[in-house]
Amino acid sequence: MSDVFIYHIGWLIRDLLKNCTSINQATLVCYLMFSELPA
């Protein structure tokens, strides 16, 4: 495997992790907002 290929895989994984983190944060914010509402 070439170094360029490994480099691109690293970027891909980094982007996926970044997307997962932002999705988790959005889910957490929604959850906190809904939990503040009276049942």
In this prediction, residue 18 carries a pLDDT of: 92
In this prediction, residue 11 carries a pLDDT of: 93
Record the pTM. Answer: 0.52
Give the torsion through C-alpha atoms of 29, 30, 31, 35, to 10 deg. 100
In this prediction, residue 32 carries a pLDDT of: 87
Q: How far apart are CA 35 and CA 33, in angstroms?
A: 6
In this prediction, residue 1 carries a pLDDT of: 67
What would the pLDDT profile of 1-39 be if each residue is shown by its tens digit?
Answer: 689 998 999 999 999 889 889 999 999 998 888 887 765
Q: Where are the domains of the chain?
A: 1-36
